[in-house]
Amino acid sequence: MTGRGWRENVVVSTTDKYAATLAHRIENLIIERGWPVGELLGSEADLIERYDVSRGVLREAIRLLEHKQVVRMKSGPGGGLIVAAPAASAVAENISNYFTLSSIDHEEVIEARRLLAADGLTLAAERLSERGIERLRRAAESPDPTELHQSIGVLTRNPALAILLDSLTLATPVPSWKQHKTDKVRSCHRALVDAITTGDLAVAHQLLRTLLDDEAAEVRDGGPEVTDAHHRTKKLPEQLAHRIANDIEESGAQPGDVLGSEPEFLERYAVSRSVFRQAVRILEYSNLVHMRQGSGGGVTIGTGEPGRVIDGAVTFLDFMEIAPHHLSEARRSLELSALKLTMGRIDDDARDRLTNELKLEASVDRSQVHTHGPDFHLLLAELSKNRPMIFFTRVLTRLQTLRIGGRQRSDEERQHIGTSIVDAHVRLAQAVLDGDEGLARHRLRRHLDAMVENVAARRVVDPTNQ
């Protein structure tokens, strides 16, 4: 990553650590209670006493949970911390913000979108209803060039895949002169909807490729006027967050560097304190900066590690109680797409990493392999060298690990599952090392399908961890 990356060498403040721990405890409590939307968890004073923390730690924990839309704070008599219902649109926007703020190349976003959108189109066509046809036709006539793509994602009826597709659509740059549909695009959208409606998938896929290829060409030729797809609707704090992120990128600042104090930023960007602080919160959520208080404090460069954004996506999908077969379906689409890229980019270093990962996995107790197993899948994604796909793989493998761990099993069952996982990984890795893409895809598909029966319907939280 140019300028900044997913580094881990920055000291996090004690308040941040306590707040993150408290946020996790409150979130676990909500999950254990079945996510009771609207329930009052307590007033600020109640929560400070219950968890024995300072007001500063509690407010930081609440801020983290509010950004994930897990809770909301209601003021006034009878107010306090209330359980909220997270929204898919907010999750997708947080992910797309991370992609654009952390300077992930536009080409990587479009590359991932090309592969995943093709699968999304196939699923949407297979599951299309008459109401879905009406939605697609409205989207084709909408002045917003992204609405049809987002509608196709929703019509897959797979919450995980819809989030992936929506966030990639939002993160795709759009030339400023084309933030409303041209006649050519509208005509292509109409033809695409007609092809989906009549079941002519060959034509539909060709039209989708044409649309995405045109978008890619426009991004390459768009020059400095290119912005992300939802920039035109951004509020001032979001716009300022992007300006600060761009300035950080150009400065070459490293994690731990102090960029300046709040008064310096207010003067530099000529904004109000409220707008500035909201912008900082957006950047903090993506771990790109931290606000350090006290002497020598100010806006400090963060690691860029997307843990909070990933956590938000996992929390949303868990709240949606995504079905095991939908989780498997989304992983299959994602990981087969990443494997396609990996097979074309594998080199000696990649082969060494794959071999070493197998050796490491072989040393793990078979009853614990389900917690280590995702490392193999993450490595395959990393070898694709496509950061959006790596990000999404982290989200889905983490959710699946939580679901597998949430089912009560005997040691013998865990040993059996672990052995089957290791055997599948060895066979898959051998096909990759041999350069046999067809066999590798077959083995990956079979492996992911076999994992479905091991996934619980929803995450189970240990009640002692409250």
Q: Decide if 22 contacts 58 (C-beta within 8 A).
A: yes
Last residue of a domain, one of 204, 228, 252: 228
Question: Does 1 map to a domain?
Answer: no
Of 284-288, 344-348, 354-358, give the lowest mean pLDDT range: 284-288
- Cα 127–Cα 388–Cα 302 angle in degrees, nearest 5: 140
What does each C-alpha distance from 135 to 167, 175, 185, 203 come to in angstroms? Answer: 20, 26, 18, 20
Question: Does 9 map to a domain?
Answer: no
Question: Does 465 map to a domain?
Answer: no
Residues 294 and 341 in one domain: no
Compute φ and ψ for 145, nearest 5 degrees. Answer: -70, -10
What does each C-alpha distance from 451 to 148, 186, 378, 426 come to in angstroms? Answer: 33, 42, 16, 16
Listed residue (28, 93, 8, 35) closest to 303, CA to CA: 8
For residue 379, the SS3 value is: helix
Cα 464 to Cα 459: distance, rounded to the nearest angstrom = 15
* pLDDT digit string, tens, across residues 330-345: 999 999 999 999 999 9
Residues 294 and 331 in one domain: no
Cα 330 to Cα 95: distance, rounded to the nearest angstrom = 17
Residues 108 and 173 in one domain: yes
Residues 295 and 328 in one domain: no
Question: Does 7 map to a domain?
Answer: no
Q: What is the total count of domains within the chain?
A: 4
Last residue of a domain, one of 228, 251, 284: 228
Over the range 334-359, which residues count as b (16 or more CB within 10 Å of their CB) and which as e?
Answer: bbbbbbebbbeebeeebeeebeebbe
Residues 60 and 135 in one domain: no
Which residue range forms the structural domain that includes residue 107?
89-228
Q: Decide if 174 contacts 226 (C-beta within 8 A).
A: yes
Cα 270 to Cα 151: distance, rounded to the nearest angstrom = 38
Residues 45 and 107 in one domain: no
% of residues, the chain, pLDDT over 70 = 87
Give the CATH number of the domain where residue 268 resides.
Answer: 1.10.10.10
Last residue of a domain, one of 206, 228, 250: 228
Question: Does 147 map to a domain?
Answer: yes
Listed residue (1, 4, 2) closest to 283, CA to CA: 4
Please name the residues in contact with 122: beta carbons below 8 A apart, sequence gap of 6 or more: 201, 205
CB half-sphere exposure, 298, CA atoms < 13 A: 13
What pLDDT, on a 0 to 100 scale, did the predictor assign at position 366? 84
Residues 33 and 61 in one domain: yes
Structure tokens at 351: 């082969």
% of residues, the chain, pLDDT over 90 = 48
Mean pLDDT of the chain: 86
Residues 220 and 251 in one domain: no
Give the CATH number of the domain where residue 333 resides.
Answer: 1.20.120.530
What pLDDT, on a 0 to 100 scale, did the predictor assign at position 177? 47
Residues 346 and 428 in one domain: yes
Cα 160 to Cα 129: distance, rounded to the nearest angstrom = 20
Q: Decide if 119 contacts 162 (C-beta within 8 A).
A: no
* pLDDT digit string, tens, across residues 83-131: 998 788 888 988 998 998 887 888 999 999 999 999 999 999 999 999 9
Residues 279 and 343 in one domain: no
| pTM of the entire predicted model | 0.82
Question: Does 62 map to a domain?
Answer: yes
Cα 450 to Cα 419: distance, rounded to the nearest angstrom = 13
* pLDDT digit string, tens, across residues 166-222: 999 999 887 654 556 788 899 999 999 999 999 999 999 999 999 999 888 887 775
Question: Does 289 map to a domain?
Answer: yes
Residues 270 and 394 in one domain: no
Question: Does 313 map to a domain?
Answer: no
Residues 285 and 328 in one domain: no
Q: Decide if 98 contacts 306 (C-beta within 8 A).
A: yes
Listed residue (329, 328, 337, 327) closest to 437, CA to CA: 337
